[in-house]
Amino acid sequence: MDGKSATDDLAGQVRRLRDKIDLYNHQYYALDDPQVPDSEYDSLMQRLRDLEKDNPQLITADSPTQRVGGEALDKFQSVTHRLPMLSLDNAFDENDLADFDRRIRDRLKITALSDADIEFACEPKLDGIAVSLMYEQGKLVTAATRGDGSTGEDITLNVRTIPSIPLRLIGDGYPEVLEVRGEIYMPRAGFEAFNERARNLGEKPFVNPRNAAAGSLRQLDPTITAARPLQMCCYSLGYVEGGEMPETHSEVLQCFQSWGLRINRESEVVAGVAACIDYFNRLSEKRDGLAYDIDGIVFKVNNLELQQKLGFISKAPRWAIAHKFPAQEEMTVLLDIDLQVGRTGAITPVARLEPVFVGGVTVSNATLHNFDEVRRLDVRKGDTVMIRRAGDVIPQVVSVVLDRRPTITKAYFAPKLCPVCGSVVEREEDEAVLRCMGGLICGAQQREAIKHFASRKAMDIEGLGDKLVEQLVDEGLIDNVSGLYTLQHAQLMQLDRMGDKSARNLLQALEESKSTSLSRFIYSLGIREVGEATAGSLANHFGSWEALSEAGKDQLLEVEDVGPVVARHVLQFFQQPHNIAIVKALQMAGMHWPVITVKKADEMPLAGNTYVVTGTLEGMTRDEAKAELQALGAKVAGSVSKKTTAVVAGAAAGSKLTKAETLGIPILDEEAFNGLLEQHR
């Protein structure tokens, strides 16, 4: 083979590798439907890198290996948008949306449009950064921010590092020049992981995912952007030259997807404003289960010809509107910082706030996480602070509005003594948390330990609520969990608002709680870092309380989900004489559980799998379903993640089912779940 033929053959190999990698990227990022394992993808990328390294003349800017390249910039250059990037008018309620529909109808009376409902394209409004991508001959040549709508900043080098943005379009039929507009954002999971790493390194975390996306795109060094978990969703068409596009917005988005660009899978086309309102309500319910933040819904007239006829006003189109959700961030005044002591002695600073309506509820308290966070924020009594609440997430203080700080304020320092019992507080080297060392002499820890013991996932003692626990401790009737089983009817009758029937019902519930399971019992004791799933793993591995209590570190580390930290906490629990005394007292009171037969590894067919059970099952309770799975070696988690094997979904399954659908996690209905159990019993 002569030199030219050899070069042509190598070029063909490189081209075929790039085509295959681009296809796999399209399946993974645009379709959320990966067709090959990561190992296969990594192998192809390594083969391409090797070929390009040995043949640098074959490297082109659109190669998948060239996502990060170029020197760090001194500053961003300006880019003039060929078509202005306009903002949207807002609708804040159904009346605003109805007015939007009416205005469109009034303006379109000059057309042959009948009285039929107008067709709208509905899309979630991602809370990120608007950008423009310019493709020429299918290759990405420029990426820019919205800026003032007419001029933005050139962020091409940074955008090239984002895996969900193709460096060259796949397929065919795209125009010679194609401008695609969309939103670059940071998914929630990536945001939380990034902030966790930042806190561990003593660095400043981002306030919210939008702030994180903006900060990542404005890095002058693209290698920094490349390390950030960014994604992009495309939502509209900009400038087009040398090609034809479809007649509707929804068809344009489908073209984008076929060319390798990511679009939002929640998008729909509906007819009429009533259907728009229905879509808004449905997405409001799904919002907390989505993998990314949205702050509203965008409604666009779907027909592009009608869009042209409707035109623009000022800096917004007449044919589109954003229906906003209630704000998830608001400002308020911090009245004071209180200290809460948990059942493990952890002391948590809590912000007491001037009540403010945020995220659909009135908030008067917000977490400050720990004293490192208090110091980082430098939050002080009297400060105006920014509060964030997203879905069911506990409200948190995310920043201080320094230009509103009062003239005279004092910095807040971590306590040296427990605010409840006055015992010394300590902080372990690998933790950010301060802990009271008072143990069972600390009233707060007593109360919280008893509340945990009585909770639904532990002993599930009906009628023993938080206020009653506090009464029992304050009256000196109990000082640890074993004292619950020595309570007498006459003692209970002395308590405020305790009648004869309530007292008898509580004593009956306590009696019934004596019959439990080993995993529930382990969980109920509140051993640090031992949650439901880990308690189940410990129970199934050791089979008995005696075997667990005699286990050493090496034996504990053999248990799935048990690492060095959990093993240390378990050993510490058994080294405390008062813990052993409480367990013996519980057993003497009649606490018991069925014997567990410890199975060999080959008798645990679901070992290594993780399931989530949600909704209401007809044939068994969720606890029974969890026990069945754990008996087969599976881990049962409380939340859905990419590591989840499958979700068992009963009736009225909520946000966990939604998240599973978003992540493409397999979903088992009750019939399929029963089939799984029968298959492996």
* Tens digits of residue pLDDT in 629-680: 887 888 888 788 888 999 998 887 877 888 888 888 999 998 888 988 888 7
SS3 state of residue 364: strand
Mind spelling out the 3-state secondary structure of 591-617? CECCCCCCCCHHHCCCCCCEEEEECEC
Q: Is 125 a catalytic residue?
A: yes
When comparing pLDDT for 513 and 619, which is higher?
513
Least confident interval from 212-226, 347-361, 447-461, 598-612: 598-612
Span 347-373, mean pLDDT? Answer: 87
Q: Which of 4, 53, 109, 125 is flagged as catalytic?
A: 125
> CA torsion, points 416, 420, 422, 428, in degrees to nearest 10?
-50
pLDDT-based confidence at residue 237 (cuts at 50, 70, 90): very high
Q: Which pLDDT value is given to residue 241?
A: 92
Give me 553's structure tokens. Answer: 């570190």
Least confident interval from 241-245, 278-282, 584-588, 656-660: 656-660
Span 431-448, mean pLDDT? Answer: 79
CA atoms of 340 and 7, how far apart (whole Å):
71
* Tens digits of residue pLDDT in 18-43: 788 777 776 665 565 667 666 676 67
Q: Which pLDDT value is given to residue 113?
A: 47
pLDDT-based confidence at residue 472 (cuts at 50, 70, 90): very high
Task: Judge whether residue 154 has pLDDT over 60.
Answer: yes
Q: Which pLDDT value is given to residue 68?
A: 57
Indicate the pTM of the whole model.
0.52
Q: Which helix (H) or strand (E) holds 238?
A: strand 231-241
Residue recorded with tokens 């090496």: 554
pLDDT-based confidence at residue 136 (cuts at 50, 70, 90): very high
Task: Judge whether residue 405 has pLDDT over 50.
Answer: yes
Residue recorded with tokens 């626990």: 469
CA atoms of 184 and 453, how far apart (whole Å):
45
Task: Judge whether residue 52 has pLDDT over 80.
Answer: no
Residues 6+ apart with CB under 8 A from 645: 609, 610, 611, 634, 665, 666
Contact 132, 184 (CB under 8 A): no
Contact 214, 316 (CB under 8 A): no
Least confident interval from 249-253, 392-396, 638-642, 659-663: 392-396
Q: Which pLDDT value is given to residue 520?
A: 93
**Mean pLDDT over each residue of the chain, to the nearest integer:** 85
Task: Judge whether residue 112 has pLDDT over 50.
Answer: no
Task: Judge whether residue 3 has pLDDT over 90.
Answer: no
What Å distances lie between residue 248 and 117, 232, 255, 317, 574, CA to CA?
A: 16, 22, 11, 16, 68
pLDDT-based confidence at residue 72 (cuts at 50, 70, 90): low
Task: Judge whether residue 550 has pLDDT over 90.
Answer: yes
Q: Which pLDDT value is given to residue 502?
A: 92
Mind spelling out the 3-state secondary structure of 624-673? HHHHHHHHCCCEEECCCCCCCCEEEECECCCHHHHHHHHHCCCEECHHHH
Span 285-304, mean pLDDT? Answer: 89
Q: Which pLDDT value is given to residue 522?
A: 94
Please name each of the domains of the chain with its CATH number.
3-66 (1.10.287.610), 90-324 (3.30.470.30), 326-437 (2.40.50.140), 439-513 (1.10.150.20), 518-588 (1.10.150.20), 601-680 (3.40.50.10190)
Span 516-542, mean pLDDT? Answer: 89
Residue recorded with tokens 């404003």: 273
Least confident interval from 39-43, 168-172, 271-275, 377-381: 39-43
Span 235-247, mean pLDDT? Answer: 92
Q: Which pLDDT value is given to residue 222?
A: 83
Span 389-403, mean pLDDT? Answer: 78
pLDDT-based confidence at residue 71 (cuts at 50, 70, 90): low
Q: Which pLDDT value is given to residue 20?
A: 80
Q: Which pLDDT value is given to residue 38?
A: 61
